[in-house]
Amino acid sequence: MQANTAAMQRTLSGNSIGRVLKRLLGCRHRYMSYPFTVDDERYRTCLECGARRAFNKHTWTKQHPYYF
């Protein structure tokens, strides 16, 4: 049981470190989610680093720079 817990902690910390490195070194935002609508704000989210980008549902285009 302890081995599984230690392995899971390494995996979680590895993911956190990976996210920080992607933010520092940059992410190419190749894998984006489907558009979301929350409180009249429409956006897509990068599945690798979590950055968001505004989305226009009428023209199906990305708008504005990425933000966290």
| Residue 43: per-residue pLDDT | 92
Give the domain range for residue 30: 2-67
Residues 6+ apart with CB under 8 A from 52: 43, 44, 45, 46, 66, 67, 68
| Structural domain total, the chain | 1
| Residue 68: per-residue pLDDT | 75
Q: How far is CA 38 from CA 2, 13, 33, 35, in A?
A: 40, 30, 14, 10
Total-model pTM = 0.57
| Residue 8: per-residue pLDDT | 47
Q: Which residue do the tokens 């990305």 mark?
A: 62
CA 13 from chain centre, in angstroms, equals: 17
Position with higher pLDDT, 62 vs 3: 62
For 20-59, the pLDDT digits (tens) are 776 677 788 889 999 989 998 899 999 988 888 999 888 8
| Residue 14: per-residue pLDDT | 57
